């Protein structure tokens, strides 16, 4: 902020509150939480996604801040949130709707972020300027006056209707008679929805574990998700299959420096179970979840022979990247 040698405390507080609200929205989405007009960050989101103010340099009107946990510790999640915040601010600053859509594809999330970002706009004619940049030097990622026109396009009373939403929560209970499962997403109300009988055994292995559900939701009068009209896929957030720490290829055993966890994605309508790791070139889809782990072991054998053991000049750039990941992750045990 800049107005001669300082800025009103009210304007500084409003700007920091706007940034914190944007970080909460980003954190909620990262944790698979639904966004509603009664935005209530979970305890975890409040703890892990905080705008932390640093002491200004003596005589400076610039307010340094970072994105970290409430204790000031940086994590992979807080770093990703910082990068998403800066990318979003740059998109608002550009005034280009297409660029904003590329950074934030979900229309509902764009609306909430834009609503929060309006807190960075000082009153017109006030003489105040709000500018944000990633470091102490270099171009500004955001100038309020440049972003004003694009943000004004989101000045609507209600957010866009939800076409697709993702909700994360614990599988609290299964009603076997009515084939209904109950998901409890943190402090939000529980959701009840039908499930296909073919997936019942898999659901039993995930009772009291967290799942991430994507689909077309039902929304109540308050704008909160109450259930799903259609579920597209469900992902295990606490994988139940035993991690893979070794595999066999060509009669030789190979071990890993970091076991491969196997979070299953269930394609709901097709009743299919999937595990994908693009870096390792693994993509397995089965109709019987009990065969998935063996399928991944077979796929590791295949990609090891086709990529890790191939000559570099036989592989394109994408395949070379897979080879590099395989060789950095696995080594011979024998």
DSSP string for residues in 34-95: PP-SS----HHHHHHSEEEEPPPPTT-----EEEE-TTS---HHHHHHHHHHHHHHHHHHHT
Q: Which domains does the chain have, with CATH numbers?
A: 9-152 (no CATH), 165-236 (2.40.50), 244-332 (no CATH)
Q: And the tokens for 171? A: 């599988």
Spatial CB neighbours of 290, under 8 Å, sequence gap ≥ 6: none
- The verdict on pTM exceeding 0.75 is no
The CA distances from residue 210 to 64, 166, 185, in Å, are 37, 13, 9
Query: What pLDDT does residue 2 have?
Result: 44
Indicate the angle between helix axes 9-30 and 76-94, nearest 10 degrees: 120
H helix and E strand count, the chain: 9, 15
Please give the biggest Cα pair distance in the chain. 76
| CA dist., res. 20 & res. 35, Å (int) | 15
Helix (H, G, I), strand (E, B) or coil at 334: coil
Using alpha carbons only, what angle is made at residue 239 by residues 237 and 242, rounded to the nearest 5 degrees? 165
Q: Kindly report, residue by residue over 9-58, the tens digit of the pLDDT.
A: 787 888 889 999 999 999 988 877 777 777 778 888 899 998 888 777 66
Contact between 140 and 193 under an 8 Å Cβ cutoff? The reply is no
Burial 50-81 (b: 16+ CB within 10 A, else e): bbbeeeeeeeeeeeebebbbeeeeeeebbeeb
Query: Within the chain, which residues score under 70 in pLDDT?
Result: 1-7, 57-61, 136, 138, 221-223
DSSP 160: P
pLDDT in the model for residue 103: 92
Nearby residues of 67 by Cβ (< 8 Å), 6 or more positions away: 23, 49, 50, 51, 52, 78, 79, 81, 82, 85
Question: Model confidence over 218-254: pLDDT tens digits?
Answer: 877 666 778 899 999 999 999 999 999 999 999 999 9
Sequence-ordered strand ranges (E) for 176-308: 180-184, 191-194, 210-219, 225-236, 244-249, 252-260, 265-267, 272-277, 282-286
CB 267 within 8 A of CB 274: yes
9-30 helix and 107-117 helix, angle to the nearest 10 degrees: 160
Q: What whole-number distance in Å separates Cα of residue 148 and Cα of residue 144?
A: 6
Contacts of 127 (CB under 8 A, 6+ apart): 3
CA 53 to CA 64: how far, in whole Å? Answer: 6
pLDDT at 3: 43
């Amino acid at each position: 902020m800049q107005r001669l040698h300082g800025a009103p405390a009210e304007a500084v507080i409003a700007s920091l509150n706007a940034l914190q609200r944007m970080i909460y929205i980003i954190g909620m989405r990262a944790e698979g939480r639904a966004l509603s007009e009664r935005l209530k960050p979970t305890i975890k989101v409040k703890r892990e996604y905080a705008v932390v103010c640093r002491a200004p340099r003596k005589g400076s009107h610039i307010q340094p801040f970072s994105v970290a946990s409430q204790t000031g510790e940086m994590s992979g999640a807080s770093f990703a949130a910082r990068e998403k915040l800066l990318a979003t601010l740059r998109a608002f600053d550009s005034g280009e709707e297409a660029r904003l859509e590329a950074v934030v594809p979900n229309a509902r999330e764009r609306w909430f972020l834009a609503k929060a970002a309006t807190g960075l706009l000082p009153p017109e004619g006030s003489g105040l300027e709000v500018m944000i940049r990633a470091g102490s030097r270099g171009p500004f990622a955001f100038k309020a006056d440049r972003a004003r026109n694009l943000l004004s396009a989101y000045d609507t009373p209600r957010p866009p209707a939800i076409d697709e939403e993702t909700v994360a929560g614990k599988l609290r209970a299964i009603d076997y008679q009515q084939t209904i499962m109950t998901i409890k997403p943190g402090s939000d109300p529980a959701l009840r929805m039908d499930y296909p009988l073919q997936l019942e055994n898999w659901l039993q292995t995930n009772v009291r574990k967290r799942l991430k559900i994507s689909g077309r939701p039902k929304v109540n009068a308050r704008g909160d998700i109450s259930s799903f009209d259609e579920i597209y896929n469900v992902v295990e957030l606490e994988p139940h299959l035993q991690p893979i720490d070794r595999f066999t290829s060509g009669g030789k055993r190979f071990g890993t420096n970091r076991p491969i966890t196997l979070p299953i994605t269930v394609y709901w309508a097709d009743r299919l179970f999937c595990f994908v790791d693009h870096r390792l070139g693994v993509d397995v889809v089965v109709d019987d979840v009990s065969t998935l782990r063996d399928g991944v072991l077979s796929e590791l054998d295949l990609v090891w022979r086709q990529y890790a053991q191939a000559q570099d000049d036989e592989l394109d750039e994408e395949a070379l990247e897979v080879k590099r990941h395989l060789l950095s992750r696995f080594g011979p045990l024998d």
